[in-house]
């Protein structure tokens, strides 16, 4: 049977996300591939307790259909959290989504026609690139330095692409690089967006997980004209299996998002929304996040020390102050050759190629430090260092 797919389906059958999760699930492999939180930190007993209370107190309501915008009690809890971060909003500015991925998809669905430009960081979150491609977007990557997206290059990209619909940015502990955009660049991004009348999609799944340095306010706090769509998720601060995220935007725009969401899944899981709302009412989620920060601070430090010990001296690494990732650049290494070599060493990473919208920088890859136990981090980085040296040797022989 020859299927007649729509133009939205990618021609390639390569599934980098599936491959990442497959490798991460192999018990023989020390995997730094997936962006997985530490499962031992999931508040299983607390969630079990509040789940039983939800069933006892409002089980019939929680198991019924609900509104697309989301459970009001959960939106109220999120609004309080957003206001504490400097984003002024109420529940009518908030819509619940089925994870961050749905927030990205709905934004593209709402704004992008085939051929429209979406400007992204270079590199950026690979699943966002997949979404934008599926809607026929023309993607333009803006180069980064250690402080994130370069603003002069961003302005030039907007000038060169007058059909730009929005700028997609992960300003805090960026995926895949772990870099954080300082306040002055965030303000400059707003100035550029105002000047050229483009939207900004601010993706902030990691911002609460800062374990070093000083907090930087979200890009949305600097806006003048409500052109920033802010999105975040409970995946990294509570548990990813809950699949609950949220959007904060101007109220008429939230109504548009709600209409689009109704065509996709009617509403996000109602029972899970009740459980999270009850958890946030009964427990201080910031106390839980503090535990996550402590563990990730330690694991990032262990990984950085091991990298210094076992990697070639010319390897360059980002130095995250939070989040889940370290970005590595090793000059002269073919990443696919290295990945294949690592398979033999039972260690895994994510090659850099899928994170680029256009021109790929060779020898780049992403490491995750949040999911592995301390001793396995050291062992895995030692294996990876040996694999890098072996891959370099193979290329020299060729």
Output phi, psi for 7, to 5 deg. Answer: -70, -10
Residues 82 and 142 in one domain: yes
> Taking Cα atoms as reference points, which of 276, 268, 95, 284 lies closest to residue 208?
284
Same domain, yes or no: 138 and 248: yes
Report pLDDT for 141.
98
Same domain assignment for residues 271 and 205? yes
> Does 39 share its domain with 86?
no
- DSSP category for residue 332: T
From 220, 253, 282, give the residue that closes a domain.
282
Instruction: Return per-residue pLDDT of the chain as tens, 398 residues.
Output: 778 777 777 666 666 666 656 665 678 899 999 899 999 999 999 999 999 999 999 999 999 999 999 999 999 999 999 999 999 999 999 999 999 999 999 999 999 999 999 999 999 999 999 999 999 999 999 999 999 999 999 999 999 999 999 999 999 999 999 999 999 999 999 999 999 999 999 999 999 999 999 999 999 999 999 999 999 999 999 999 999 999 999 999 999 999 999 999 999 999 999 999 999 999 999 999 999 999 999 999 999 999 999 999 999 999 999 999 999 999 888 888 888 888 888 999 999 999 999 889 999 999 999 999 999 999 999 999 999 988 876 654 44
Buried b or exposed e, range 298-316, using 16+ CB within 10 angstroms? ebbebbbebbeebbeeebe
Is 11 among the domain residues?
no
Q: Going by C-beta distance under 8 Å and a sequence separation of 6 or more, which residues neighbour residue 88?
A: none
Same domain, 269 and 175: yes
**319 and 302 in contact (C-beta within 8 Å)?**
no
pLDDT tens digits along 68-94:
999 999 999 999 999 999 999 999 999
User: Please, which residues have CB within 8 angstroms of residue 50's CB and are 6 or more apart in sequence?
Assistant: 275, 278, 279, 282, 283
Q: Which of 223, 253, 282 is the last residue of a domain?
A: 282
User: Which domain does 323 fall in, by range?
Assistant: 16-43+287-396
Query: What pLDDT shows up at residue 373?
Result: 94
Question: How confident is the model at residue 17, as a pLDDT?
Answer: 61
CATH number of the domain bearing residue 314: 3.90.1150.10
Q: How far apart are CA 312 and CA 314, in angstroms?
A: 6
Write down the pLDDT at residue 19.
Answer: 64
Domain containing 158 — which CATH number?
3.40.640.10
Q: Is 327 exposed, middle or buried (0-12, 13-18, 19+ CB in 10 A)?
A: buried
pLDDT of residue 14: 63
Q: In terms of domains, do 116 and 264 share one?
A: yes
Cα Rg, the chain, nearest whole Å: 21
| Any domain includes 93 | yes
Any domain includes 336: yes
- The answer on 175 and 205 residing in a single domain is yes
Q: What's the domain count of the chain?
A: 2
Centre a 10 Å sphere on the Cβ of residue 145 and count the other Cβ atoms it contains. 9
Q: Based on the domain organization, do 174 and 218 belong to the same domain?
A: yes
Q: Compute the distance between CA of residue 237 and CA of residue 217 in angstroms, rounded to an integer.
A: 18
Residues 88 and 153 in one domain: yes
Asked whether the beta carbons of 148 and 178 are under 8 A apart, the reply is: no
Q: Report yes or no on 10 lying in a domain.
A: no
Tokens (6 digits) for 305: 């020390």
The alpha helices in the chain, defined as continuous H runs, are: 16-24, 44-62, 72-84, 99-111, 126-134, 151-160, 183-196, 251-262, 270-282, 285-310, 335-344, 374-397
How many whole angstroms separate alpha carbon 282 and alpha carbon 298? 28
Contacts of the segment 224-227: beta carbons below 8 A, 24+ positions apart: 224/190, 224/194, 225/194, 226/250, 226/253, 227/193, 227/194, 227/198, 227/199, 227/200
Closest Cα to residue 125, out of 27, 16, 212, 208? 16
Q: Which of 282, 309, 329 is the last residue of a domain?
A: 282
Q: What is the pLDDT of residue 1?
A: 78
Residues 70 and 82 in one domain: yes
Cα–Cα distances (Å) from 385 to 130, 207, 329, 338, 371, in that order, read: 31, 30, 13, 10, 19
Same domain, 228 and 178: yes
H or E segment to which residue 328 belongs: strand 325-329
Specify the residue for token string 């934004």.
Answer: 107
Using left for φ > 0, alpha for ψ between -120 and 50, and beta otherwise, residue 226 falls in left
pLDDT at position 337 is: 84
User: Does 51 reside within a domain?
Assistant: yes
Same domain, 179 and 262: yes
In a domain, 132, yes or no: yes
pLDDT digits (tens, 9 = 90+) for 343-369: 888 999 999 999 999 889 999 999 999
Question: Does residue 3 lie within any of the structural domains?
Answer: no
The answer as to whether 69 is a domain residue is: yes
């Amino acid at each position: 049977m020859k299927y007649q797919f729509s133009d939205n389906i990618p021609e390639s059958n390569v599934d980098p996300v599936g491959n990442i999760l497959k490798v991460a699930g192999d018990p023989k492999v020390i995997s730094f591939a997936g962006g997985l939180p530490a499962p031992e930190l999931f508040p299983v007993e607390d969630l079990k307790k509040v789940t039983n209370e939800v069933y006892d107190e409002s089980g019939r309501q929680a198991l019924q259909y609900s509104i697309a915008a989301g459970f009001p009690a959960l939106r109220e809890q999120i609004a309080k959290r957003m206001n504490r971060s400097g984003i002024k909003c109420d529940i009518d500015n908030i819509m619940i989504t089925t994870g961050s991925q749905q927030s990205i998809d709905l934004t593209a669905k709402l704004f992008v026609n085939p051929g429209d430009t979406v400007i992204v960081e270079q590199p950026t979150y690979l699943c966002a690139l997949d979404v934008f491609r599926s809607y026929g977007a023309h993607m333009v990557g803006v180069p980064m330095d250690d402080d994130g997206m370069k603003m002069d290059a961003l302005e030039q990209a907007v000038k060169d692409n007058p059909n730009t619909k929005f700028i997609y940015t992960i300003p805090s502990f960026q995926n895949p690089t772990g870099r954080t955009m300082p306040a002055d660049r965030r303000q400059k991004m707003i100035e550029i967006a105002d000047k050229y009348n483009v939207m900004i999609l601010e993706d902030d799944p990691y911002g609460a997980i800062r374990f070093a340095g000083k907090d930087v306010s979200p890009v949305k706090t600097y806006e003048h004209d409500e052109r920033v769509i802010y999105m975040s998720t409970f995946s990294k601060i509570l548990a990813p299996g809950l699949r609950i995220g949220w959007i904060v935007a101007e109220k008429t725009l939230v109504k548009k998002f709600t209409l689009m969401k109704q065509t996709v899944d009617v509403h996000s899981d109602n029972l899970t929304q009740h459980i999270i709302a009850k958890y946030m009412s009964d427990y201080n989620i910031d106390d839980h996040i503090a535990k996550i920060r402590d563990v990730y601070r330690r694991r990032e430090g262990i990984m950085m020390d091991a990298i210094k010990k076992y990697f070639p001296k010319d390897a360059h690494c980002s130095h995250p102050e939070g989040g889940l990732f370290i970005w590595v650049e090793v000059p002269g290494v073919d990443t696919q050759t290295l990945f294949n070599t690592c398979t033999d060493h039972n260690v895994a990473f994510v090659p850099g190629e899928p994170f680029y919208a256009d021109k790929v920088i060779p020898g780049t890859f992403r490491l995750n430090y949040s999911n592995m136990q301390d001793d396995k981090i050291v062992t895995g980085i030692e294996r990876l260092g040996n694999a890098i040296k072996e891959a370099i040797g193979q290329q020299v022989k060729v």
